Amino acid sequence: MLLFAKTFGCCRFVWNKMLEKKLQAYKKKERITRIIPAKYKEEFPFLKEVDGLALCNVQLQVEKAFRDHFRNRKQFKLPKFKKKKDKQSYTTNNTHDSIRVDFEKSLLYLPKLREGVKVELHRRFDGKIKSVTVSRTNDGKYFASILVETANPRNKVAEPKSRACGIDLGLEHFVTVTDDFGSYKVEHPKYLRRGEERLWRLQRSFSRKQKGSKNSEKARLRLARQHTYISNARNDFLHKLSKAIIDENQVVVVEDINVKGLLKTRLAKSVADSGWSKFLTYLKYKAEWYGRTFIQVNRFFPSSKLCHRCGYKNDDLALHDRTWCCPACSETHDRDVNASINLYYVGLGRPEVKPVERALVDDRSPHGLPKKPSRVEAGSSTEKC
Amino acid at 135: S
What b/e readout covers 157-176, taking b as 16+ CB neighbours within 10 angstroms? eeebebebbbbbbbeebbbb
Instruction: Respond yes or no: is residue 316 known to be catalytic.
Output: no
In this structure, what is the dihedral angle of CA atoms 83, 87, 91, 97, given to the nearest 10 degrees? 130
Phi-psi bin for 106: left (phi > 0), alpha (psi -120 to 50), beta? Answer: left
Q: Which one from 51, 168, 248, 273 is the annotated catalytic residue? A: 168
Q: At what angle do helices 276-289 and 214-248 cross, to 10 degrees?
A: 50
Cα–Cα nearest to 313, from 301, 296, 295 = 301
CA distance 312 to 307: 5
CB 110 within 8 Å of CB 146:
no
Instruction: Respond yes or no: is residue 336 known to be catalytic.
Output: yes
Contacts 24+ apart (CB under 8 A), 237-242: 237/189, 237/191, 237/378, 238/275, 238/278, 238/279, 238/282, 239/282, 240/377, 240/378, 241/174, 241/175, 241/186, 241/279, 241/376, 241/377, 241/378, 242/279, 242/282, 242/283, 242/286
Instruction: Respond yes or no: is residue 377 known to be catalytic.
Output: no
CA distance 116 to 110: 7
Q: Which one from 179, 180, 255, 273 is the annotated catalytic residue? A: 255
CB 179 within 8 Å of CB 374:
yes
CA distance 211 to 155: 48
Q: Which one from 51, 180, 273, 336 is the annotated catalytic residue? A: 336
Q: How many CA atoms lie less than 13 Å away from 2 in the CB half-sphere?
A: 1
Give the catalytic positions in this structure.
168, 255, 336
